[in-house]
């Protein structure tokens, strides 16, 4: 088998070497993507442009505003003079949160009545807005607690809070979004590599009329498929090492688990992912069709349905059910487990076995679908 497999692998490699630009892009693209992501991507919302309409302009109101600006979450861009300006500031995007403090703010606080304030939030980017709201809420809660405590102290009694909530965040203590995204990104990059690399292999043989030559050769179907998949698996495998290295050494993403397990599961995943490309390619009538189907069946699920950005448990049940047949879902869980939690096969065996079964099923399907004859 090896004897017949080898020429196919060699042929595919020769194709690649004759096309140095594609080969270069195969290594450049993942690195480029990772670096861009690493620098540009951040869900950590900071420096939110805040405009204030402070009608009270008292020590109390200024202290209140200072709560927003002091830890870098909000950036005071303007003190407005009139409430007519409010719609314009949000419309033009100059400010994304507006704090409107009425003129009786300090008076009411003094009198121990409830002071009312208004906060307007630009909701056009929902992700962003919900983080902003979370900050606002926690700032307001500490402010409330501090005020209550101050009132008690004034009365001469010391306040003991009835409940003290101690929160600890595991795995990613600083809540750095990069730590979450880079392991996921490895999965997305590999998926996208496989879509671009293998989706054209069969269909372009058909289009260029070289299929006949393969059909009359003594090679078997499964050998041909394996021979078409393996060179790309090897290239993408090098990409895994490259991307992991950059993620860990350049961007300082923690790597707590086992390298061997990472490489092994990447290999299994790649086998499945590349087979999807081949499967698409055998079914496609034209290379344009193959490209589009490949992007649709690999990129879309890998980005949207794998849990890369959106948590699976929040999806509607029917979509959750679909995610169970996606290799990306399992691979992503494995990657995050290895990088962030440092867990191994002891915890991840369900995901790993699912990945193993899926990959071989897809490889098997791509062999079955391929008809070694001329239509």
Partner 1 sequence: MLDSRLFHFIKKEFIQLLRDPRMLFIALMAPVIQLIVFGYIASTDINHISTVILDEDKSYYSRNYLQSYKNSGYFDFNYYVARPQQIADLIDSGRAKLGLRIAVNFGRKIVRGDTASVQAVIDGSNSSTAAIIQGYINQINFGQVEILLRKKIEKAGSSARNLEPIMVNSRIWYNPELKSLYYMVPAIFAQILMIISMLLTSTAIIKEKERGTMEMLAVTPLKSYELILGKLLPFVIIALFDIVLVLLIATLWFNVWIKGSVFDLFYMGVIFMLTGLGLGIFISTISQTQRQAMMTVIFIILPQIIISGFIFPIANMPKIIQLITYLIPLRYFLEIVRNIFLKGVGINYLWYSVWPMVVFGVVILSLSIIRFRKKID
Residue 212 binding partner 1, by CB under 8 A: no
* Cβ contact 294:315 at 8 Å: no
Residue 82 binding partner 1, by CB under 8 A: no
Nearest CA among 302, 299, 345, 292 for reference residue 327: 302
Residue 285 binding partner 1, by CB under 8 A: yes
The encoded tokens of residue 103 equal 């003129």
Q: Which stretch binds partner 1 (CB under 8 A): 116-124, 227-235, 267-275, 362-370?
A: 116-124
136 or 229: CB nearest partner 1: 136
The encoded tokens of residue 270 equal 């790649």
Residue 4 binding partner 1, by CB under 8 A: no
Q: What does the alpha-carbon distance between residue 27 and residue 59 come to, in Å, rounded to a whole number? A: 59
CA angle at residue 5 from 204 to 293, to 5 degrees?
A: 30
22 or 217: CB nearest partner 1: 22
Residue carrying the six token digits 């699976």? 312
Residue carrying the six token digits 């809540």? 175
Least distance to partner 1 from the beta carbon of 360, Å?
Answer: 24
Task: Out of 1, 241, 296, 325, point to the residue binding partner 1 (CB under 8 A).
Answer: 296
* Cβ contact 135:45 at 8 Å: yes
The encoded tokens of residue 310 equal 């959106």
Nearest CA among 330, 325, 329 for reference residue 352: 330
* Length of the chain counted residue by residue: 375
Least distance to partner 1 from the beta carbon of 348, Å?
Answer: 8
Q: What part of residues 29-68 is at the interface with partner 1 (CB under 8 A)?
A: 29, 32-33, 36-37, 39-47, 49, 64
Q: What does the alpha-carbon distance between residue 261 and residue 343 come to, in Å, rounded to a whole number? A: 10
Least distance to partner 1 from the beta carbon of 370, Å?
Answer: 18
For residue 307, give every residue at least 6 positions away whose Cβ sits within 8 Å of its Cβ, in sequence order, or none.
184, 323, 329, 332, 333
Least distance to partner 1 from the beta carbon of 73, Å?
Answer: 11
Residue 375 binding partner 1, by CB under 8 A: no
Q: Which stretch binds partner 1 (CB under 8 A): 201-209, 215-223, 225-233, 259-267?
A: 201-209
Q: What part of residues 301-360 is at the interface with partner 1 (CB under 8 A)?
A: 304-305, 309-311, 313-316, 319, 333, 336-337, 340-341, 343, 347
Binding-site size for partner 1 (CB under 8 A) equals: 113
Packed helices 177-198 and 221-245: angle between N→C axes, nearest 10 degrees: 150
Q: What does the alpha-carbon distance between residue 324 and residue 307 come to, in Å, rounded to a whole number? A: 12
Residue 211 binding partner 1, by CB under 8 A: no
Q: What part of residues 216-275 is at the interface with partner 1 (CB under 8 A)?
A: none
Residue 210 binding partner 1, by CB under 8 A: no
Least distance to partner 1 from the beta carbon of 150, Å?
Answer: 9
Least distance to partner 1 from the beta carbon of 331, Å?
Answer: 14
Q: What does the alpha-carbon distance between residue 211 and residue 94 come to, in Å, rounded to a whole number? A: 60
281 or 359: CB nearest partner 1: 281
Q: What part of residues 152-191 is at the interface with partner 1 (CB under 8 A)?
A: 159-173, 175-177, 179-180
2 or 317: CB nearest partner 1: 317
């Amino acid at each position: 088998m090896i004897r017949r497999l080898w020429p196919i692998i060699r042929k595919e490699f020769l194709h690649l070497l004759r096309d140095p630009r594609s080969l270069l892009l195969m290594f450049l693209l993942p690195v480029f993507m990772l670096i861009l992501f690493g620098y540009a991507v951040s869900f950590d919302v900071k420096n939110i442009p805040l405009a204030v309409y402070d009608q009270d302009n008292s020590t109390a109101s200024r202290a209140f505003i200072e709560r927003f600006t002091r830890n870098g979450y909000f950036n005071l861009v303007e003190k407005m003079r009139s409430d007519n300006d409010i719609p314009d500031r949000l419309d033009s995007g100059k400010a994304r949160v507006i704090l409107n403090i009425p003129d009786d703010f300090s008076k009411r606080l003094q009198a121990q009545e409830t002071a009312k304030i208004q906060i307007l939030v630009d909701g056009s980017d929902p992700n962003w807005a919900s983080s902003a709201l979370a900050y606002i809420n926690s700032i307001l809660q500490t402010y409330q607690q501090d005020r209550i405590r101050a009132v008690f102290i004034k009365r001469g009694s010391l306040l003991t809070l009835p409940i003290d909530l101690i929160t600890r965040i595991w795995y990613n203590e600083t809540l750095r979004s990069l730590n979450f995204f880079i392991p996921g990104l490895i999965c997305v990059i590999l998926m996208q590599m496989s879509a671009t690399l293998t989706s054209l292999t069969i269909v372009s043989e058909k289009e260029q009329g070289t299929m006949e030559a393969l059909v009359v050769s003594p090679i078997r179907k499964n050998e041909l498929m394996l021979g078409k998949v393996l060179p790309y698996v090897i290239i993408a495998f090098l990409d895994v090492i490259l991307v992991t290295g950059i993620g860990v050494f350049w961007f300082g993403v923690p790597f707590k688990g086992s390298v061997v397990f990472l490489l092994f599961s990447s290999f299994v995943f790649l086998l499945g992912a590349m087979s999807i490309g081949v499967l698409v390619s055998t079914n496609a009538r034209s290379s344009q069709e193959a490209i589009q189907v490949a992007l649709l069946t690999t990129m879309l699920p890998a980005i949207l349905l794998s849990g890369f950005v959106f948590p699976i448990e929040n999806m509607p049940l029917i979509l959750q059910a679909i995610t169970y047949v996606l290799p990306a879902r399992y691979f992503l869980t494995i990657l995050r487990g290895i990088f962030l939690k440092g867990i191994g096969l002891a915890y991840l065996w369900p995901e790993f076995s699912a990945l193993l079964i899926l990959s071989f099923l897809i490889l098997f399907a791509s062999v079955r679908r391929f008809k070694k004859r001329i239509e």
